[in-house]
Structure 1
Amino acid sequence: MTSMDIFKLFFNHDLRLDKLAKRNANKTKEEVEATLDDFMQPDPTFSKFYITGTLLKDEKFGINVLDKSKAILENLNLVFKNYQFTATTNDSFNSLTNGLTNIQIGEALIISDNDRLPEIDLATLTIDEESKVGHKKDEIRSVIESGAYLLYKEPAHHGFDLHLFSEENIYPRLFEAFKPLVDKEFRFFSINNKRMRSERHFYFETWTLDNPPHGAEEVFSETEI
C-alpha cells in the first residue's frame, strides 16, 4: 500500500452554550430561576471541531504522523492570521504553529484578536489524562464567551489531534483552508460528529474507507460547501 493521509474534520454545530455551565444542582436558586426575558431570548450556541488523521499504510493515528502534517498546521495558522496566541501556561506565541510546537499534549491555546482574555486561571484549562481530569466546561465557556477560540492539543494514539471550540461557526473557514491539500495521497473527510455513534465509526477508514458511514462526506478539489 502506498502512503496515504486520511484527514478528518469532525464538526458539531448549534450546541447549546448552557451545556458548558455547571449543573443545576450546584447553582443558587437565583441562577436556576430564569426571567421571562431570558426565556424569550434564543439559546446561545457554540461549535466545536475535532481535527485528526490516519497514516493509512502504517495505521498510525494523529495529526503529527501524517505526511502533510506541516502543511495542515500552516494552513490552519492562516485561518487565524493576525491573532494572538496564549497558552494555558500563560506563555505567548506569535503564531499558531509556534504555539502548538511549544505546548504539551493536554494543554491549549487561547486564540484572540484583542488583548482581552477570560478572567480565569488559564492553567485550569489543561486536561490531565493521568488524574482523569478532562475538559472543564465552565472554563471552556468563559473562554468562548470572551470572544476567543480555544484550541486543545489532544492526545492521540501516536501523538496529538486538535480540538477547537468556537462561539461562532467557522466551518467554512476551516473547509477552505484544508481543501487545497487534497490530492491522490491526501483524502479529506468532512464528518458530522452527531452521526458518529461509536469508536468503530470514528475509525471507519480502517475498514470501510470507500464506503464511509452516513455523516462522513469526502471532500474533493471541486467540492463546494
Structure 2
Amino acid sequence: MKTILLRFPPQRHAVVSAPEPSVLKYFYEEPALLEPVTPDADPDARRREDRSDLPEGTSVPLDDLLDTRDAYRGYLAGTNRADDAVGLTTLPAEAYVPPLLAAVGQAWWGECTTNGQVEELDDEAVRGRLRGPTDTAVLVTAEAPVPAERIAAVAGRARRRALSSLRSLLDTAGVVFFPEPAHDGFDWSFFSASPMRDRLVDALQRRPTENVRRFALPYQRARSESKFYFETWQLTESPLPDYIEEV
C-alpha cells in the first residue's frame, strides 16, 4: 500500500496590535482672574475664531473691573485613539469620573438644564451627567444646597457676560462645571473657588486606567490649536516639552 503524505501550509496567526493609548488632557490656570474684557476667556483653543469682544457701547461695571478675587480654572479634554474620536466623554468613564469626584469632594450637586430648570442631583445622576451632559447647561457642586437663582444666573449666557454671576455663585459653590461641545461628545470646563490642580492630579495618579495616558499642562502654554492637540504629533517625542506633565 502506498502511503500518501499530505503537506499542509504552515498555519498563519493574525497579528493583532494593541490599540494606541487614549489621551486625557487637563489644562489648568491657577489662579485665573475672571476678567470680562479679555478676548481670550474661552479655555478651548479650538473655538478661538468664534470669540468676539464685548459689543460696542457695552459698559462693564467698575466693581467687576476692580474685582481681583482669584478663581481656579480647568479644562478636561480627551482623545479616544482606538475609536478615532475626540472629546472627554468618548473615553471610558472610569478614566475621568471617579478621579474628578474624588478631587471635588463635595456633598451636594445640582444642575441647570438647557431649558432653565434647576434641580438637585443624586450620585447616580451626577455620574450620568459627567458621562453625557446632553441637556445640562451648568453643573454645580458645594458643601450645602445652592440657591437655584444663583445657578440659573450663569446658565444660557455667553461666559464673559455672566462672570459677575459666576463670581457670586463661587461664593457658595465649590466648583462650577460647563459642558463644552467637542468633535465627538463633550469636554468639561470648570471654575473652582479653591485650587484644584494638585487634588485632581493626585486623584488621577491614584486611579490609573488601562490604555489611557493622562497629562496635565498649564493653559497659558497651550493656547494654540497645535498645542491643544499635542497628542497628534508630540507623543512620539522624547522627552515631551517640559510644560507637559504625564500623570
CA deviation after TM superposition for structure 1 residue 20, in Å: 4.8
Task: Answer yes or no: is the 8 Å Cα contact 2:103–2:196 preserved in 1.
Answer: no
1:72 alignment counterpart? 96
Task: Answer yes or no: is the 8 Å Cα contact 1:5–1:54 preserved in 2.
Answer: yes
TM-score norm. by structure 2 comes to 0.70
Matched, 1:93 2:90: no
RMSD over aligned Cα atoms:
3.0
Percentage of matched positions with identical amino acids: 23
Q: Secondary structure at the match of 1:138?
A: helix
CA deviation after TM superposition for structure 1 residue 115, in Å: 2.6
Q: Name the amino acid aligned to 1:78.
A: A
2:11 alignment counterpart? none
2:204 alignment counterpart? 178
Alpha-carbon separation, structure 1, partners of 2:145 and 2:194: 19
1:191 alignment counterpart? 217
Q: Secondary structure at the match of 1:182?
A: coil
1:25 alignment counterpart? 59
TM-score norm. by structure 1 comes to 0.76
1:120 alignment counterpart? 150
CA deviation after TM superposition for structure 1 residue 21, in Å: 8.3
Q: Deviations over 1:83-106 (max 9, x none)?
A: 211111312111231443574266
Aligned equivalent of 2:28, options 11, 36, 49: 11
Q: Name the amino acid aligned to 1:185.
A: N
Q: Specify every segment of 5 or more residues in structure 1 that has no aligned partner in the other structure, as ranges.
A: 128-132, 220-225
Matched, 1:83 2:100: no
Aligned equivalent of 1:104, options 109, 131, 134: 134
Task: Answer yes or no: is the 8 Å Cα contact 2:179–2:187 preserved in 1.
Answer: yes
Residues 33 and 188 of structure 1: CA distance in aligned 2, closer, same or farther (over 3 Å): closer
Alpha-carbon separation, structure 1, partners of 2:65 and 2:186: 41
Alpha-carbon separation, structure 2, partners of 1:32 and 1:166: 18
Q: Specify every segment of 5 or more residues in structure 2 that has no aligned partner in the other structure, as ranges.
A: 1-17, 39-53
Residues 81 and 16 of structure 1: CA distance in aligned 2, closer, same or farther (over 3 Å): closer
Q: Name the amino acid aligned to 1:188.
A: R
Q: Name the amino acid aligned to 1:100.
A: L
Alpha-carbon separation, structure 2, partners of 1:9 and 1:162: 10
Q: Secondary structure at the match of 1:92?
A: strand
Matched, 1:46 2:71: yes
Q: Name the amino acid aligned to 1:107.
A: A
Alpha-carbon separation, structure 1, partners of 2:242 and 2:95: 28
1:215 alignment counterpart? 243
